[in-house]
Chain A
């Protein structure tokens, strides 16, 4: 703080009209910053328009019924990949939510100020940004190799590992916003800590925690790299035991987009449109959810 105020004082105090150099520097900064922001918005718009343009021409009701076609087969759809993606994402979130919420609760409630909690928080932040392809390799070693083949379970676990840090982080942040007086009031009534947490803190932070789960869903729904070596992809409906690979949208898009077949590419665009719109919708809903809660 001192350094800043000193450096401000050391700049020669200009009296009277603003010098031309200062004026120019200021204008340049404003224009450049505004241009950069416009560029960011422009790129998002460009990507969305490209998806809409390429995707809508490929979309038709029939692709939501038919399965992905084999090489050289005409027509086909994305139904199996769509359902497979839903299953994998659901599986990932179902595994990640209890673990993430409990871990976040530990960090915010039990581990306040402890060294262990600090280490876990730090590692969690690292995992939040860890390359997702390495998580794919990890789950490959952990599940695919021992189980003797690709499976939906491995895909679900890989997605869960990506989702957990997101949920831990938001849960902890949201629980920290709950005023301590609420907890104290519960404790004063003689409620044990677990009851205070479940009936008071969680309830007060519910909207924020749901937002965390929604954001985690949005994050894993489009993840491709961790599924490459775990759930893989195929052109069939998933088997009831989820073994032997499960068709899913991200890997299907990856394989089909780079293929030489025109109908495969069309399906990749359709899949890309579906997945991006759902993820963006999820992110927006999550944000609105939090905003509504704050307004309350």
Chain B
């Protein structure tokens, strides 16, 4: 495996001039690798810079009301981000509520319950779910899931809750088309499950086997091992994994654009169409000019800040298990 041949070695002994040559290359190589690494920082700075540069005119024009206003009127050139921000948060929360228990269940199955021969295929299947492009989830959501969702969930549920005080508002669908905030949240949940599940699986794998075995040794059931050994050991890191999923859910674009309905309307019902920051940018950016372009950039800026904060938190939490 060691590839410095005897001949090369002798040559470097014979000719000191070659040595100085090589030290020149050595320096260039080192600088090139340092430069590439710095490029990572530059790209991040560039993303922040371009968002602020593009979004600033809109933020100056509308001030704080950009965030609190729900008006998005291209004709009158009035823009407010509230609907998109609420849509982004709502879909992400729905995704977490549905996705997190399922992901943790999958991780527990893979690390504790799964027979050895099944482990690899199941792991691969879950990871392949992460490799499927988001646009495919969008098509599946719009053409397969949404019609079924409208028929078997929206229409029956709307009938049941109609007239009820709280549920009659949040789960009532005036036009049961299948698309809407809840549908987007469900598709997002499916998309973040593989990420949370595989990170959680890795975290659970890192817990020393001896802890688990000693718990089983004193007669604990699997549930008790999970509850009293694994969760206290990995708890914080699992929250980190969840945040990682949240970061994905906040910024996911294509799948959401397909199924959320893209309406700028503040609606109390989860069955109604809405929009997220990412879906609005995807929808309008190519036709946008002037202030609308700036407003979209400002939306991007908000999205960036939120996901950045979430991802930083996620990394710090996930990293904790490694340093311990």
Contact A36 B137, beta carbon cutoff 8 Å: no
Residues of chain A touching chain B, judged by Cβ–Cβ distance below 8 Å, are 1, 3-5, 7-8, 11, 13-14, 18, 22-23, 25-26, 28-30, 32-37, 39-41, 43-44, 46-47, 50-51, 54, 98-103, 105-107, 109-111, 116-117, 119-120, 122-127, 129-135, 137-138, 140-142, 161, 164-165, 168, 182, 185-186, 189-195, 197-200, 203-204, 218-219, 221-225, 228-229, 232, 250, 253-254, 257-258, 268-269, 272, 275-276, 279-280, 283-284, 287
Contact B224 A11, beta carbon cutoff 8 Å: yes
Known A195-B4, A219-B131, A283-B131; 20 more pairs at CB < 8 Å: A36-B102, A37-B122, A40-B197, A44-B129, A47-B140, A50-B140, A103-B33, A120-B40, A129-B248, A129-B307, A131-B278, A138-B51, A142-B46, A192-B22, A195-B26, A200-B2, A222-B133, A225-B253, A253-B135, A257-B138
Report the bound CA distance from A103 to B30 in whole Å: 10
B172 adjacent to chain A (CB < 8 Å): no
Chain B residues near A250 (CB, 8 Å)? Answer: 133, 135, 254
Report the bound CA distance from A131 to B303 in whole Å: 9
Contact A111 B229, beta carbon cutoff 8 Å: no
Contact B106 A33, beta carbon cutoff 8 Å: yes
Sorted nearest first, the 10 A-B pairs with minimum C-beta distance are A131-B251, A222-B133, A36-B105, A102-B36, A26-B221, A194-B29, A141-B50, A106-B33, A103-B36, A33-B109
Report the bound CA distance from A272 to B135 in whole Å: 8
Chain B residues near A120 (CB, 8 Å)? Answer: 37-38, 40-41
B247 adjacent to chain A (CB < 8 Å): yes
Chain A residues near B258 (CB, 8 Å)? Answer: 257-258
Chain A residues near B97 (CB, 8 Å)? Answer: none
Report the bound CA distance from A168 to B44 in whole Å: 15
B31 to chain A, nearest CB (A): 10
Chain A residues near B126 (CB, 8 Å)? Answer: 37, 40-41
Contact B131 A107, beta carbon cutoff 8 Å: no
B116 adjacent to chain A (CB < 8 Å): no
Chain A residues near B84 (CB, 8 Å)? Answer: none
B312 adjacent to chain A (CB < 8 Å): yes
Encoded as 1 (CB less than 8 Å from any A CB) or 0, chain B from 41 to 82 comes to 101101100110110000000000000000000000000000
B132 adjacent to chain A (CB < 8 Å): yes
Contact B278 A133, beta carbon cutoff 8 Å: yes
Chain B residues near A127 (CB, 8 Å)? Answer: 40, 43-44
Chain B residues near A191 (CB, 8 Å)? Answer: 4, 8-9, 12
Chain A residues near B32 (CB, 8 Å)? Answer: 102
Report the bound CA distance from A191 to B229 in whole Å: 49
User: Could you tell me how many residues of chain B have their Cβ less than 8 Å away from some Cβ of chain A?
Assistant: 106
Report the bound CA distance from A284 to B218 in whole Å: 41
Interface CB pairs A-B, < 8 A, 18: A8-B214, A8-B215, A8-B220, A18-B219, A28-B223, A36-B106, A37-B109, A37-B126, A40-B126, A102-B35, A106-B37, A122-B312, A127-B43, A132-B253, A199-B4, A225-B134, A254-B135, A279-B131
B244 adjacent to chain A (CB < 8 Å): yes
Chain A residues near B4 (CB, 8 Å)? Answer: 186, 189, 191, 195, 199-200
B174 to chain A, nearest CB (A): 23
Contact B54 A137, beta carbon cutoff 8 Å: yes
Name the contact of B223 in the complex, choosing from A26, A50, A269 (C-beta under 8 A): A26
Chain A residues near B101 (CB, 8 Å)? Answer: 36
A119 to chain B, nearest CB (A): 7
Q: Which of B170-199 contact A (CB under 8 A)?
A: 190, 193-194, 197
Report the bound CA distance from A219 to B130 in whole Å: 10
Report the bound CA distance from A54 to B13 in whole Å: 67
